[in-house]
Amino acid sequence: MKASEIRELSGEELQLKEKELKEELFQLRFQHAINQLDNPMRLKAVKKDIARIKTVIRQRELENAEA
């Protein structure tokens, strides 16, 4: 996902997407541990998506605190 796509999501959608990505990351790590991972670069991409989502959530928290 791109940062612009993430910023368009609502707060609930961000929380849901973060949960889904964490579950996917767990599955990818499990597959990696048993040597069944097809695309190891997907691990990196999922981690970055989670970080982007957390960043947007934190930015919104800070904006709300200022207001």
Res 67 pLDDT > 90:
no
pLDDT band at 1 (very low <50, low <70, confident <90, very high): confident
Res 43 pLDDT > 90:
yes
Kindly state the average pLDDT of the residues 37-59: 96
Other C-beta atoms lying within 10 Å of the C-beta of residue 14: 18
CB-based contact 3:51 (threshold 8 Å):
no
pLDDT of 8-41, one tens digit each? 999 999 999 999 999 999 999 999 999 999 999 9
Residues contacting 55, CB < 8 A, separation 6+: none
Res 2 pLDDT > 90:
no
CATH T-level fold of 3-66: Helix Hairpins (1.10.287)
Domain borders along the chain are 3-66
